Each structure stands twice: as structure tokens, then as C-alpha cells.
Amino acid sequence: MPDLTLPEPRTPDPAEAPPLRWGILAPGHIAGHWATALREHTRQRLVAIGSRSPERAAAFASAHGAERVHTSYEALVDDPAVDAVYVASPHSHHRDHALLALRAGKHVLVEKAFTRNAAEARELVVAAREAGVLLMEAMWTRYLPHTDVVRRVLEDGLVGQVHRITADYGVRAGPDVPPRLLDPALAGGVLLDLGIYPLSFASAVARAAGLLLRPSSVQAAGSLTTTGVDAQVSAQIGYGVAQAQLFTSMLTASGHTAQVYGSLGRIEVDERCYVPAGVTVTVGDRTGTWDANRVHGYGGLCFQAAALATYVAEGRTDSPLLPLDETVTILETADEIRRQVGVVYPGEA
């Protein structure tokens, strides 16, 4: 087939972002990957670790070259040497921990899912705007180079009017499923852990393609664990003239792929589309591919931190690639999916 030339990503080199002094609140598995990505691919400085376990804080700081440890989250956010806080606790605690940092005047990057629900997200948005600091969801795929290729293809109208979006993220957890995924008190379930990626992808496509940002319809079905959280969810979401079919599961593995179908052609993101990936675009009998990632796997976490540092230097208080209002809308959709599936967390109205 004749080649189709795809646009190059506009993603800045993460090593060029101005350095901020970072503190990590609640060092765990994903925080370890995040710290490694910063060290290997950026000029960001990890200066402090906050953990309620002195042993965990010390071990993490030693492994990742942090300058100091704090044995309370309050001490971390009050540290004058910290410019920005990465909240890496379970999403059941994101609201409380992010509020601590925002009220201390820190810029905040909150691991996905941003909060348990849209009501908690709105609280954080109000607090950030009152403090005049940058608050951002750590939906790292929004900041990856291949995502900007998809964004540019859609903005340029290369595949025409978008009519269908598909995305999936299923992992067979097996008998060793992390206990937090089964615990309602920790906002367990697959939707907020893995399904938030397909939800955010669909919303990103809707934004770039000029579709409705607030879904016009949501239909969901799913199955629950014995603890009452979602084990598997399928959702069809309407964005005006387009529909999105989304799937997530801890019961079965899926391809982790994403596709966009337009009136003129289609976009296909390679397997494991939520890490740096390749993109194929087909328009008529022409096909083009892009796969020039220089950072791979969890190394891609560097892009979101670099983006936040750049936005701070530019005086921004919101991310242009994932505005806070869109984060809230995505969680409103997740709330509706959980309502239809029958999942309620302790303390929710």
C-alpha cells in the first residue's frame, strides 16, 4: 500500500523541562517506577519522601537518591524544600492527601484514578483554584508522544468524522490479586484501577475530534467480586454522533489496544497502548505508521512530570492536555457506570 505520512508528535523532550523539587507522598510500587523515570529521563529532583513507615521511607529514599525522609504526610507537604508533591497513595485516599498538599501551597500531581468519585474531584479543583497552584491528574498516557500523534491526526481531520471508539484493558489477576483491588474501603475494583485508561482515551478522542465532551449516554454492564467491587465492566458511551465501546477486567486478559474509526479511515494504537506505543493510520488504500518512541515502558512516566514542571514555569494552573474540568467529567461517567453496575464505596452518598 502507498505510504501515508503521519504528523510528528509535538511532545517536548522531558529532559528540557525546568527542574522542580519533588516530594513523593506514599512511596509504593508505581512511585518506584515514577522515581526511576525521573532520574533516567529528566532534570527533576526528588528531594523528599513521606511515609508513615520510617523503614519504607528510608529504603525508598536510599534506592532513589532522595535527600530526606518524613515520617508523616504533614511534614512532607510542609517541607519548604518541596515545590511539588506526587500523591501515590491508593485512590481511596487521594482526596485527603491532595488536600494536605494543596493547602500547604504545593503543586500536586495525583496518581490515577484522581479520586473515588466526581464529588471528591470537585473539592480538589476548588482547593487548587483557591490556592492558585497547579493540580493535575497523573494520567500519563495523555502526555506520551504516540498520544500526540493520535491527537494531531484527529485535529487535522485525517480520518474524517469520528463515529466509533474502542479501547480495552483487561488483566487476569488470578489468585494473587492485590488485596486493595478487592477492598471497597480502598475504592477497589477494576474500573478505577484499569478501566480509567479506556475512559480517558475515549474522552481524549472526543476532545481532539471536536465531539461532545460530556457523554450523551452511558450504558454499562458488569460482574462483581464477593466483596462487592467490580471485577469486569463493559460500557457503551455516546459522544453525540460517535459511540465508544470500552472494556476492563481483572478476570481475563485483553489486548490493551485502542482504535478510532472515522468516515474516511481509522487509527489503531498498538498493543499495550497505555505505555509508549506505535500508531497505524489507514485512509482508503494508504497506510502510515509511527513508532519512534525513544522512551519505553514505565519510563514514559517521565513525560507527565516534565509537563507539570513546564506548566508551572509557564504560570499555568491547569493542564491543557487534561484540564481539571475534563477529569471531573470522566469521573462523573465512572460514577454512572458504577451506579449501573451496583458498586458503592463506604461513606459515599
Residues in the chain with pLDDT values less than 50: none
As to burial, measured by CB atoms within 10 angstroms (0-12 exposed, 13-18 middle, 19+ buried), residue 156 is exposed
According to the model, what pLDDT value does residue 189 have?
Answer: 97
C-alpha cell, 154: 484527529
Report the alpha-carbon angle 6-8-11, nearest 5.
145
According to the model, what pLDDT value does residue 1 have?
Answer: 52
Residue type, 232: Q
According to the model, what pLDDT value does residue 176 have?
Answer: 79
Q: Strand, helix or coil at 24?
A: strand
Is this structure's pTM higher than 0.85? yes
Residues in the chain: 349
C-alpha cell, 280: 497505524
According to the model, what pLDDT value does residue 139 have?
Answer: 98
Smallest CA-to-CA distance from 185 within 145, 153, 228, 134 is with: 228
Q: What is the pLDDT of residues 170-224, one digit of tens each?
A: 999 888 788 999 999 999 999 999 999 999 999 999 999 999 999 999 999 999 9
Across the chain, what does the average pLDDT equal?
A: 96
C-alpha cell, 125: 479543583
Domains of the chain: 14-140 (3.40.50.720), 145-294+318-341 (3.30.360.10)
As to burial, measured by CB atoms within 10 angstroms (0-12 exposed, 13-18 middle, 19+ buried), residue 164 is middle
CA distance between the termini of the chain: 56
